[in-house]
Structure 1
Amino acid sequence: MEIREARAGVMFRGDVGMCYRSCLWLRTAIRIRQRLASGFLQGGHVGDELYQMTRDLVPWADVLGGTDATFSVDATAARNPDVRNTTIIKTRVRDAICDAVRDTTGLRPAPPTGVADVPLHVSVYGPEVVFWRDLSGTSLHKRGYRSVVHKAALNEVAAAGILQLAGWDEICAQADDAVLVDPMCGSGTFLVEAAMMAARQPPGLWRADWPFLRWPDADQVVWRAELDRAKELAHAGKRDSRHVIVGSEIHPGAVALARECASRAGAGNVAIRHGNCVSWRLPRAPDVIVTNPPWGRRLHDERGARRGHEDENEALAGAWRDLASFFREQCGGSRAYILSGNKDVTRHLRMKAAQRHPLTLGSVDCRLIEYYILPPKRD
């Protein structure tokens, strides 16, 4: 299989089975798209060029499979001063597809009422235009185990990527009884994703809808084989997993959500306690700690903290001091990976970082900070 890094993603080439496996197994992908065609704008009227390019490059009646299939168009644009927003892209591409299908079949495709049968994406980067069709339709972070999304919950895909940066998959491969701890687990995203990785659970197994199954070139036999194989591996992984994933959370509402998510995901090896981590006693030091403590938007502005935020700032500082105490008392010899978007709060740990991984989550610049926790001093 050919794999290469691309702008904001990874390109790979494979057969239809590989395509279906990627939908079931990729943990850190937001979307999986199939490239249909590409072309270059020549500097004329953008709307007219997009319209004609759309009609010329792709046999849309074949892609849609007839007028009964619905489609949607999403778009992104960058580094092209002639494209000030994506509305013109979506409008002109949609018009061109409808006209092309009408000219071929005599009928225009109906608009979608929900997730379209064929979700399309058009990316414009400089003069280059690329047409894609989206296999998932909706973001792959929607695993299916959340019934309610906590307002501060970490995206599932981001959590899986952070766990990989922390080496959790490698730790699980080296030891069949590895321990992961999240002392401020919130609604449990790290815990559930860690359990799924440890037990080799396909993250796409719970998704109820895959648009590609409604495509005219869908291979139902290959899909059924890949799905059955994924279920077999998931069953075996859950049966054999002896890894321990534990968390603590001070807020009862978040604890309830975390336990519900773990239950819906079938993560039986996840345990979540209600309480402050500072009073938590572990039976053994964990192999790795991964956590996303509260860090607020900003602890201070340039003029200092305003009066209305003093209590919040002190609470943040106290939470990080509690985390430091937990590390010293319970986690000697372990490595900790802490996500933070506020450099001012991390100083309350009073620990030296071994490494910082820059991350952008949404529009927030964050750091995944790695610490080595010194073992306790011997008397």
Structure 2
Amino acid sequence: MLAKTLFGFEDLLATELRNLGAINVEKGVRSVSFEGDKGFMYKANLCLRTAIKILKPVKTFIVRSEDDLYAKVYAMNWERFMNVNSTFAINATLADSRFTHEKYVALKTKDAIVDKFRDTHGERPDVDTRHPDVRIHIHIQRNQVTISLDSSGNSLHQRGYKTRTNIAPINEVLAAGMLLMSGWDGTTDFMDPMCGSGTMLVEAAMIACNIPANINRKEFAFEKWGDFDEDLFEKIVESSLKKTREFHHKIIGYDKAPSAVMKAKDNVANANLAEYITVKQQNFFETYKHTEGKLHMVFNPPYGERLNIDMERFYKSIGDTLKQNYPGTNAWFITSNLPALKFVGLRPSRKIKLFNGKLESRLVLFEMYEGSKKGKYMNNKKED
């Protein structure tokens, strides 16, 4: 099978798959291939935090032309996967291929499938791009075609808990990947000081409590397949929920907009995590650290793409607030406004290239020590 992911998350996804029990895990570009049975496919969809699709390849072949593509798709035994009463949709992706238009490839594939059914049964299945019974994915790299069934349906970032969003919401898979990349493991207090609709807060709580990422999702595409084993799926859900754990620290979210706070609280409640998460209407630049020990902070500040703000002043305020009010904090945030980073006035310990949608971004870490960094270094030298 193939799990698709976002740029930069291949290592995270490979680790997740191995931890779940996948075998023969191999990293690709924005994807990780692996082996597992039907039950593992169910578990992967339910539990993976950094996957956006789980594809099950059913046929691979070489094509030389458009007619060749049509003939080989037509020759497949489509009755294994659907019937004349099924609805279906096709998604195509191309990589360094003789074919140049994804929509044309999808249309050619659709024609071959419906013609096969019409010639065999005198009837044809209908296309339904919104809510099909079967989702088919065709990937062409150079002249190699892989036909897969999409076992997920809608992208797995659509967890099911987020019913209200803000102007620039962060993708749930991106949020989870950032948290895992930052080393968040639920052993300290956590804060998102610009929490928007609460995505980072919910994902942080789910990681801390080891709650399956997609437990709130209404359905997966595999539930419409002819061989769907409902009893097996229910056992996997039950087994996954038994592995949850308690969380004994604080998760705090701030946002200065009352509407954002309301949305965040609604989404936290939808995820059944209100007992772990506190959301307050507060301007981060007027706050200070009020927790003991280390604080883990991950957030998604405005980039200036959709919100018109003074970037120089805003990013300077981020740096000033962290430096003056948040000692003992590991502060991570993502931005696509790379020139604005210099206004923070602090040197990042790490800088990781990611994409927020189509925006090339950087996930940066600022380590705010108790006292001066030089003082911490000298203390460590004494201990040595």
In which range does the TM-score fall when normalised by the shorter chain? 0.7 to 0.9
Structure 1 residue 158 corresponds to structure 2 residue 174? yes
In structure 1, how many angstroms separate the alpha carbons of the residues matched to 2:157 and 2:147? 23
Is 1:112 paired with 2:128? yes
Alignment partner for residue 213 of structure 2, among 180, 203, 206?
203
For the 8 Å contact 1:61–1:104, the answer to whether it is kept is no
Instruction: Look up the SS of the partner of 1:32 in the other structure.
Output: strand
Higher deviation after alignment, 222-231 or 316-325? 316-325
Matched, 1:187 2:197: yes
* Other-structure match for 1:331: 326
User: Contact 1:180–1:286 (CA<8 Å) still a contact in 2?
Assistant: no
- SS of alignment partner, residue 227 of structure 2: coil
After superposition, the Cα gap between the structure-2 partners of 1:113 and 1:185, relative to the gap in structure 1 and judged at 3 Å, is closer
Residues 1:250 and 2:268 aligned together: no
- Paired with 2:356 and 2:62, the residues of 1 have a C-alpha distance of 31
2: CA distance, partners of 1:372 / 1:216: 52
* 1:79 Cα deviation after fit: 1.3
Count residues in correspondence. Answer: 349
The answer for the alignment partner of 1:301 in structure 2 is none
- From the superposition, tell whether residues 103 and 224 of structure 1 become closer, same or farther in structure 2 (CA, over 3 Å): farther
Partner Cα separation in structure 1 for residue 263 and residue 165 of structure 2: 9
Q: Deviations over 1:240-269 (max 9, x none)?
A: 222321121111111111111111111121
After TM superposition, give the deviation of residue 113 of structure 1 in Å.
7.2
TM (norm. structure 1) is 0.87
For 2:294 and 2:121, how far apart are their aligned partners in 1?
Answer: 63
For residue 77 of structure 2, what is the amino acid of its counterpart? P
Structure 1: 5+ residue stretches without partners? 299-308
- State the shift of 1:155 in Å: 0.4
Pairing 1:219–2:229 present:
yes
Q: Partners of 2:124 and 2:366 in 1: how far apart?
A: 59
Counterpart-to-counterpart distance in 1, 2:282 and 2:356:
28
Deviating more after overlay: 365-374 vs 330-339 = 330-339
Contact kept in structure 2, 1:179 and 1:243, CA below 8 Å? yes
Q: Which residue among 290, 296, 306 is the counterpart of 2:304?
A: 296
Amino acid in the other structure paired with 1:329: Q
CA distance in 2, matches of 1:113, 1:51: 21
Q: Cα distance 1:336–1:14, how it changes in 2: closer, same or farther (>3 A)?
A: same
Contact 2:312 2:340 survives alignment (8 Å): yes
Q: Distance in 1 between matches of 2:294 and 2:258?
A: 24
**Preserved CA contact (<8 Å) 2:351 2:364:** yes
| SS across alignment from 1:108 | coil
CA deviation vs aligned residue, 1:178-202 (integer Å, no higher than 9, x gap): 2111112222211111011111111
Deviation of the 1:150 alpha carbon = 1.8
User: Paired residue for 1:73?
Assistant: 90
In the alignment, is the contact (CA less than 8 A) between 1:285 and 1:331 conserved in 2?
A: no
Q: Which residue of 1 aligns with 2:35?
A: 13
Matched, 1:28 2:47: no
Letter in 2 for 1:362: G
Please give the secondary structure, in 2, of the residue aligned with 1:37: strand
Give the CA deviation at 1:342: 1.0
1:304 matched to which residue of 2? none
Alignment of 1:103-182 (within 5 A): 103-112=119-128, 114-169=130-185, 172=186, 175=187, 178-182=188-192
Partner of 2:69: 50
Counterpart CA distance in 1 for 2:293 and 2:259 is 27
1:111 to partner: Cα distance: 3.1
The question of whether the paired residues in 1 share the 8 Å contact of 2:58 and 2:148 is answered with yes
Partner of 1:349: 344
SS in 1 for 2:279: strand
Q: What is the RMSD of the two structures over their aligned residues, measured on CA atoms?
A: 2.0
Structure 2 equivalent of residue 373 of structure 1: 368
Q: CA deviation at 1:285?
A: 4.9
Q: 2:238 aligns with which of 196, 218, 228?
A: 228
3-state DSSP of counterpart to 2:43:
helix
Q: Residue 59 of structure 1 aligns with which residue? A: 77
Q: 1:277 aligns with which of 259, 262, 284?
A: 284
Partners of 1:72 and 1:258 in 2: how far apart? Answer: 34
Aligned partner (choices 80, 97, 102) of residue 86 of structure 1: 102
Deviates further, 287-296 or 95-104: 95-104
Equivalence for 1:303: none
CA shift at 1:313, angstroms? Answer: 4.9
Equivalent position amino acid for 1:121 in 2: H
Structure 2 length normalisation: TM-score?
A: 0.86
Instruction: Pick which of 322-331 and 198-207 moved more.
Output: 322-331
Equivalent position amino acid for 1:283 in 2: T
- Percent identical: 29
2:64 pairs with 1:39: no
